[in-house]
Structure 1
Amino acid sequence: MSGAVARIGRYVSLYPERVINQTIVELGEATNTGQATIIRFCRLLGFHGFRDIKLALVDDIATERNFVSGQAKANADLGIERLNSSLQLSIQKTAELVDAADMATLARAISATPRAVVFGGGVSQICASLLEYRLLRLGVPVFCVTDSRLAYIAAQKLPANGMAFAVSLSGITADTLDFMKAAQEAGAKTVAITAREKGPLADIADHVLPFHLPGPWPMEGSIRYIAPFVVVVEALAQALDDEMLERRGI
């Protein structure tokens, strides 16, 4: 690297803990560079953008803090230690992202809906099924659709006070976006559960339930992000259970 890009690289190497708490504007001011240069730096390293490199730095810092100095570890043990550290951090960060007021508002809408549909592609299908199971156990009339075409049709048929839940790690999957748009055109309320708080899916959803990745992008094929996803679902389930108890006057 050279010039302004190298300046960013040196700063990130020297002050990683500072960078994870900075905005892209603040990093630009600290390195005397523009936002476009910072994005170029991130992409040179294989990341989509500034948020993704911050997530990678968080994972690296957590791993270093858990490293036991002076003790030799077998490769398998070190791998488990890294996994344990990243999962614990992602669960903690996800819990910090939970907005109690938003959960309560969403719980009221869910408790009044006559029908809800859940959709997710890839590994997100597993998460979508978990959400369906949790809501069904609470008495919500919900069903999970795994076929993208059927999901689109199901979204089109939702009533005006129906609800559509889209689960997507990346928040940019075309089929998931189509599902959400169809639900909105039908007049239903939409909920995005995603690791990308600022993205196409989050931008069009009525409600966004974010979770923190246990490691850097990309995570194709990994099921690690199911752990922080469960935190979001359980927080929603608790809010919904509280809402139902209040309605019954308990």
Structure 2
Amino acid sequence: MTEELKETFTGGAVAVGGGAAPDPLAAKVRTLAPSMTRSMQRVAEAVASDPAACAALTVTGLAERTGTSEATVVRTARLLGYPGYRDLRLALAGLAAQRTSGRSPSVTSDIAVDDPIEAVVAKLARDEQQTLADTAAALDTAQLAAAVTALVDARRIDVYGIGASGLVAQDLAQKLLRIGLVAHAHSDPHVAVTGAVQLRSGDVAVAITHSGATADVIEPLRVAFERGATTVAVTGRPDGPVAQYADHVLTTSTARESELRPAAMSSRTSQLLVVDCLFTGVTQRTYATAAPALSASYEALAHRRTPRQRTTPR
């Protein structure tokens, strides 16, 4: 993605701390821009930087403005989640109205080597807020609801993740275990594939990969998919290879990587939000059994939180 495009998308973001609702279109653009061709990026740059002007253009006019083709404009609109260019124009008109109502852009938060610690805290907090807002705005709630239903009805749940995504996989599995579901997290690709072979219809496999191209996560998901299990992908690249084996795709915000903040750090924030949404949805649907299971787990762990009294020898 070009530096100009990055600046356009950052400048068009909404400051979460200001109380304004997140901008779904801007969130989609920020998330999907890295997977676009250069010509599609030019279209995305135009609609993000000047939605009012673009809303007034025909598909031919926007193609001429961006030096692309009508087909590229339509493909960009569809990649952003709109059936056609007419739907994108309506969204642009709404976005233009919101921007003219006085909504403030977010502050960029690139961290420099010589930043004082106070600035680091403030910048990271802004970045985390924007990541959460973008993920919430772009998350397909129909796909989320379908994934929740699959988890509620599952005989067994396997969750795959490597590295930082492996930590998120463990978090999801641990949460589901505490409400009485049979869930396992796998970060070893050999164990993951071995487990996937045992899955069948009525089971669920969840793959967590920010890039959408992690082979050690895609392979067990493929096996689970072919065995008839319901498959879910939590990814920042909904058009990535992992999606072809996913019945349900939950899109996370594209992390803004910097030299002092690897993508693994910021992408984990959006992944954890999706995990919490899944867990909360399942808990709501299974409250009659989930609540007692949570209470039992708290009681079982209570003695580990209380320091044991030392026995003084006589």
- TM-score normalised by structure 2 residue count: 0.58
What is the letter of the counterpart of residue 226 of structure 2?
Answer: E
From the superposition, tell whether residues 147 and 17 of structure 1 become closer, same or farther in structure 2 (CA, over 3 Å).
Answer: same
- Residues 172 and 148 (structure 1 numbering): CA distance in 2 closer, same or farther, change over 3 Å? same
For residue 134 of structure 1, report the CA deviation from its aligned partner. 1.3
Distance 1:83 1:109 in 2: 35
Q: CA RMSD in A?
A: 3.7
Aligned to 1:119: 160
Change (3 A) 1:13 1:238: closer
What is residue 45 of structure 1 aligned with on the other side? none
Indicate yes or no: 2:178 matched with 1:134: no
The residue that corresponds to 1:3 in the other structure is: none
Given candidates 54, 59, 63, the residue that maps to 2:107 is: 63
Go from structure 1 to structure 2 and tell me whether the alpha carbon gap of 1:32 and 1:157 turns closer, same or farther (over 3 Å shift): same
Residue in structure 2 matched with residue 231 of structure 1 by the alignment: 273
Matched AA of 1:168: T
CA distance in structure 2 between the partners assigned to 1:10 and 1:165 by the alignment? 36
Instruction: For 1:10 and 1:83, locate their aligned partners in 2 and report how far apart those are by CA, in whole Å.
Output: 22
Deviation at 1:201, TM superposition (A): 0.8
What is the aligned-residue identity percentage? 25
Residue 195 (structure 1) aligned with residue 236 (structure 2): yes
Q: Is the 8 A contact 2:211 2:236 kept in 1?
A: yes
Report the CA distance between 1:9 and its aligned residue. Answer: 7.7
Residue in 1 that maps onto 2:189 = 148
Match of 1:94 among 123, 132, 135: 135
Residue by residue, what CA displacement relative to the aligned partner does 1:139-166 show, whole Å, maximum 9, x if unpaired? 2111111210110111111122111111
Q: Which residue is 1:42 aligned to?
A: none
Report what 1:110 is aligned to. 151
Q: Among residues 52, 59, 75, which one is paired with 2:115 in the alignment?
A: 75
Letter in 2 for 1:99: D
Is the Cα–Cα contact under 8 Å of residues 132 and 143 in structure 1 kept in the other structure?
yes
Q: Which has the larger radius of gyration?
A: 2
Q: Which amino acid aligns with 1:162?
A: D
Greater Cα shift, 100-109 or 83-92: 100-109
- Corresponding residue of 1:32: 67
Q: What is the rounded CA distance, in whole Å, between the counterparts of 1:113 and 1:217 in structure 2?
A: 39
Q: Is the 8 A contact 1:156 1:182 kept in 2?
A: yes
The DSSP-based 3-state class of the residue aligned with 1:198 is coil
Change (3 A) 1:181 1:11: closer
Structure 1 counterpart of 2:294: none
Shift of 1:246: 7.7
Supply the distance in 2 between the matched residues of 1:10 and 1:105 (Cα, whole angstroms): 38
SS at match of 2:286: helix
Which residue matches 1:168?
Answer: 209
Q: Deviations over 1:169-203 (max 9, x none)?
A: 10001111111110011111101011112211123
In 2, the alpha carbon distance for the partners of 1:94 and 1:126 equals 19
> Runs of 5+ in structure 1 lacking a partner?
1-7, 38-49, 52-60, 68-73
d(CA) in 1 for partners of 2:148, 2:120: 39
Distance 1:225 1:14, change over 3 A: closer
Q: 1:211: how far off?
A: 1.2
Gaps in structure 2 of 5+ consecutive residues:
14-24, 34-39, 47-61, 73-78, 81-104, 291-314
Pick 1 or 2: higher relative contact order, CA cutoff 8 A, min separation 6. 1
* Distance in 1, Cα, partners of 2:281 & 2:197: 28
The size of the alignment, in residue pairs, is 214
For residues 5 and 198 of structure 2, what CA distance do their matches in structure 1 show?
52
Distance in 2 (alpha carbons) for counterparts of 1:11 and 1:195: 18
The one-letter amino acid paired with 1:215 is: R
Aligned residue number for residue 240 of structure 1: 282
1:182 maps to 2:223: yes
TM-score by length of 1: 0.71
